[in-house]
Every structure is written in structure tokens, then in C-alpha cells.
Amino acid sequence: MSLEKEASIRMEYVYFTSESVTDGHPDKICDQIADAILDAALKEDANSKMAVEATIKDDFILVYGEANTQATVDYAAIAKQVLADIGYKETYDVLVKVNKQSSQINHAVVSDESVGAGDQGIMFGYATNETENYMPLPIALAHALSQRLSDAKATIDWLLPDGKTQVTVAYDGNKPVYVHTVLVSASHQAGIPLETIQETIMNDVILPTIDAHWITDETRFIINPSGEFSIAGPFSDSGTTGRKIVVDTYGGVGRIGGGCFSSKDPSKVDRSAAYFSRYVAKSVVAAGLADKIEIQLSYAIGLSDPLSIHIDTFGTAKRPESEILEIINANFDFKVGNIIKELDLLRPIYRESANFGHFGRDGFPWEAIKPLKF
């Protein structure tokens, strides 16, 4: 094949990139602290209303926010335990500034008749049939890499908890063709040769994770391009709850809502309605109504029903979109109270959701597929 012909074929591909982070990334530390606190409250009081977040820098942690719960929560102890669980061995100072939830918000959310949305806002759900877990391939692979990199510190003694992964996929139209680039940045103890790091990450993380059929002679592998990465975690960068919402959702494919997930109890529709819209989207694609779909919901504080429902199938619908929307409305109840009940969200399940994406992983109720009647 001539060089001109080969170059022309390559230009037909579209390249899309998504990133993920390990459990020891500073922002993810804070997400885990927030959701561990939420779980602790829900374990004792299923009706807890929580929005307690965290910020970390060096050996200092600030835990702050609003809570309305009958549970006894040791915020500082939880924060320290999360750091220890991740693999950080330093001693941390924790400052706690948590107040009771505003009575005005609580009155709007809690009533005898129904559960109102804990805030106004927009939420998006997405699903595609390009992978078995109905996620876009770039973020699915990036999460798989970050999870394996996080797990690897248990057996590789010089590996530290902080790290990032990034995957670029070449698409021919809507179809993923091959992995164009894999980027991994792994923190490590000082003095480890770069060659050792690169060889270990390639053999122990990348190759066992990415199916060989996605890899071609053109696939690039980039490992620790900055060189040494021994100053890491909160001693390198600050972290704050809710700063990785693109990582948490679909890796930049589709749109994102206005709020993060971690720290928020299910009355906060930023979280629960985003979960429900993923549940709906996945069920629609699994039913063969479209190859991919994005669903937008909007809510007002204190009101139970959504203000609007919008769908976009990106030209992949097998039926008119108006008909698909009718099928959705006939099969799903978008009231806040029903979302909480149908997905059984008043349980301490949230710390497990904080790492490696809230979507595309088994074990969460919003990842179930509901058989649709149409």
C-alpha cells in the first residue's frame, strides 16, 4: 500500500481519549472520605441527609459540610482510616467543620406526602453497545487500567498509591477499531530505575488488562513520561471531593450534569437521578431500541417529578425517538421517591462507587438491566 493511500485511510479515523485515576489520587482520596462518611451515617440512620466533603493537602485534612442524621459519626477517624486503607502510612491532622443541614432545605426535601429533590439541577445518563458493560471503550479501558494499577501496589512493594491512566481509541464512525495510545503514570518509591518501572507497568498492568485484539503495531505505550514520580499523592497536589466528575461518569463522552456524586445522600438528585438515568439508558440500549442513547433529566428543589426528560440517540435509533421516549415513560417512574426505592439507595454502598467510575461496574443497582415492555 502506498504511503499516500495509508495516510488517507488513517485520516478517516476519529480519535477519542478518556482518563481515569487510582484510589490514591488526591481527589479520589477525598471522594472516598466523603462516601465513607455517608456510608457510616446510612448504616445507623437510613434517613440521613448528608453533604460532607473533604479537602487534603500534605498531612492536613479538612472535613466540612452539612449533615442531618441520628447516627454518631467520627469524621476524623473515618478520614484517617480511608488513608490507611489506601496505603498511605503518614500521620494526618484532621479539622472538622460540619453543621446541621439548613432547616429550609430539609423542609423542602422531607414531607409526609413525597420525597422532594434535594436540589435543582440537570443530570445525564448514557449507554452504548460498543462494549459488554455498555460503556464507551476509552473510559472502560482507562478504568480497568487504574483499578489494576491500584491493586498492583499490594504485590509491587515500590509502587505508591497515586496514579493516572489514559486511553485513546481510534473509531471508524461509531465503531472502535484499535487502541491508539495508552498512557500510565504510576507513583513509586525514590530510586527505582525508570526502565524497571516501565517494564513492570507494561507486563503487570497494561498487557494483562487490554485485550490483545485492540492492540496493533501502531499502538503507543507511554509510561511515566515525566520521569521520576516519587513525590506524589497529597504531598504533590491538593485534593478535593467532586473534582473528577468526568472520570466518574463517561470519560468525556456525552454531557455531564452540574454536580458531583460523592458525599451526597440519595435525596440529592445530582447523584440518584444520574444513577437512574444510567439505569434507563442501559436498559434502552440492551433492549435494542438504539445503539447508544443519552438521557437528560432536570429537577427543582422540593419537587418530586422531573421538570423535563430529553433523549438523544445520535442517529442510532431503531424506532422514532418520540416512540422511544414514550416507551421510557411507560416503563420508568422518575419521581425522586421511586428512584430511591427502585434502586434501593438508602444503604451504605457508596464508598465502593467512589473509585474507577460510578458506571460500568457490576454490583450496583443502577447497572441492572430492566426488561422493557413495548
Are 193 and 164 spatial neighbours (Cβ–Cβ below 8 Å)? no
Q: Give the Cα separation of 17 and 137 in Å (integer).
A: 9
Per-residue pLDDT at 8: 46
Per-residue pLDDT at 235: 96
Per-residue pLDDT at 112: 46
Tens-place pLDDT, residues 129-146: 999 999 999 999 999 999
Per-residue pLDDT at 101: 63
| Phi (first) and psi of residue 185, to 5 degrees | -120, 115
Per-residue pLDDT at 335: 96
Q: Note the Cα 222 to chain centre separation in Å.
A: 24
Q: Output the CA angle 243-253-38, nearest 5 degrees.
A: 35
What cell numbers appear for 214 in the block?
485492540
Residue that the C-alpha cell 409526609 belongs to: 112
Q: Output the CA angle 271-272-274, nearest 5 degrees.
A: 65
**Side-chain-side CA neighbours of residue 89 (13 Å):** 1
Per-residue pLDDT at 100: 80
Q: Does the pLDDT at position 1 exceed 50?
A: no
Tens-place pLDDT, residues 85-119: 999 999 999 999 999 865 545 555 555 456 767 67
Q: Does the pLDDT at position 3 exceed 80?
A: no
For the chain, report the end-to-end CA distance as a whole number of angstroms: 50
User: With bands split at pLDDT 50, 70 and 90, how would you rate the model's confidence at 31?
Assistant: very high
Q: Does the pLDDT at position 276 exceed 70?
A: yes
Please report how the helices 269-286 and 321-331 are oriented relative to each other, as an axis angle in degrees rounded to 10. 120
Q: Give the Cα separation of 228 and 72 in Å (integer).
A: 43
Per-residue pLDDT at 12: 85
Are 38 and 264 spatial neighbours (Cβ–Cβ below 8 Å)? yes
Q: Residue range 312-330: average pLDDT? A: 97
At 161 the three-state DSSP class reads: strand
Per-residue pLDDT at 7: 46
Please provide the average confidence, as pLDDT, over all residues in the chain. 93
Per-residue pLDDT at 5: 44
Tens-place pLDDT, residues 355-367: 999 999 999 999 9
Sheet holding 14-21, edge to edge: 14-21, 159-172, 175-188, 220-223
Q: Give the Cα separation of 179 and 156 in Å (integer).
A: 26
Please give the C-alpha separations between residue 349 and each of 51, 100, 157, 165, 344, in angstroms, as whole numbers. Answer: 16, 23, 30, 25, 10
Q: Residue range 210-230: average pLDDT? A: 96
Taken in order 242, 267, 121, 294, is the CA torsion positive or negative?
A: positive
Q: Give the Cα separation of 261 and 114 in Å (integer).
A: 22
Are 18 and 166 spatial neighbours (Cβ–Cβ below 8 Å)? yes
For every residue of 49-115, DSSP letters joined together read EEEEEEEEETTEEEEEEEEE-SS---HHHHHHHHHHHHT--S--EEEEEEEEPPHHHHHHHB-SS-B
